[in-house]
Copies of this chain bind each other. A is one copy, B any other.
Amino acid sequence: MKVGILGTGPVGRALGHGFVTLGYETKLGAREAGNPKAAEWAAAHPGLGSAGTFSEAAAFGDVVVVATLGTVLPQVAAAAGPEHFAGKVVIDTTNPLDMSRGFPPGLAISGNDSGGETLQRALPDAFVVKAFNTMNNGLMFRPHFDGGPPAMMIAGNDAAAKATVTRLLADFGWPALDLGNITSARWLEAMCIAWCMVGVATGKWDHAFQMVHGTPAAPSVAD
């Protein structure tokens, strides 16, 4: 299996490092040929790592990761060529951050839509799976959490694609938790903003959401 990554920012590079470490040939794609960050990343990952354009990375990957800005997904899909994604698992790590009022951001796509749905519409023949959108890029590959990493919430329309992503996530060190079809990207992208607000509140950026289970006080308080 080969991996194509669209986006040369910290998320793309961190995930690329993970895939190369796991032994996958990985091409980091930039909007323009000769992008220095992509070239630098490829040079730091000789053998399995390479650099290219969005189009070259999308064509290269059996699995394609989208790690661009989340506000330009249709443009990214058009630049990469939707035909290069047909039948492939596409991991959407993006968040449609609205930074027009500064930080913390809002969502540029919300309500009855999401970035994940936007990408799925732009790539109708691909199997988009939302993942990696509610934690710091430094924690994406084999992080240490006391008690182990929490389950990463994912969403997508195709069960087989989610099974593939679940296996990849396990190799990255994360259990997966399937939140249903791609419309659940609405809630996961909103959780990214909640994640930012937690960072603002605590001054820490090493956090992730975990599900914990409780038991009611006895007797039941609902009566």
Contact = CB atoms under 8 A, between A and B. Distances in A.
A217 B138 CA distance: 8
Query: What copy number does this chain have within its complex?
Result: 2
Interface in A1-56: 10, 13-14, 17-18, 21, 44
Given A143-B215, A143-B216, A184 B177 contact: no
A153 interface: yes
A104 interface: yes
Contacts of A220: 138
A207 interface: yes
B110 A217 contact: no
Nearest to A220: B138
Given A14-B222, A142-B217, A211 B198 contact: yes
Say whether chain A's binding surface is mostly helix, strand, loop, or mixed.
mixed
Contact of A194 (B104, B187, B214): B187
Contact of A180 (B142, B197, B202): B197
Interface in A176-205: 177-180, 183-184, 186-188, 190-191, 193-194, 197-198, 200-202, 204
Interface stretch (A75-83, A86-94, A144-152): A144-152
A153 B193 CA distance: 13
A194 B197 contact: no
A23 to B, nearest CB: 15
A139 interface: yes
Contacts of A197: 155, 179-180, 184, 187
Given A177-B198, A188-B194, A208-B212, 13 more contacts: A10-B222, A14-B222, A137-B221, A139-B216, A143-B214, A177-B201, A178-B201, A179-B197, A184-B194, A184-B197, A187-B191, A190-B194, A208-B211
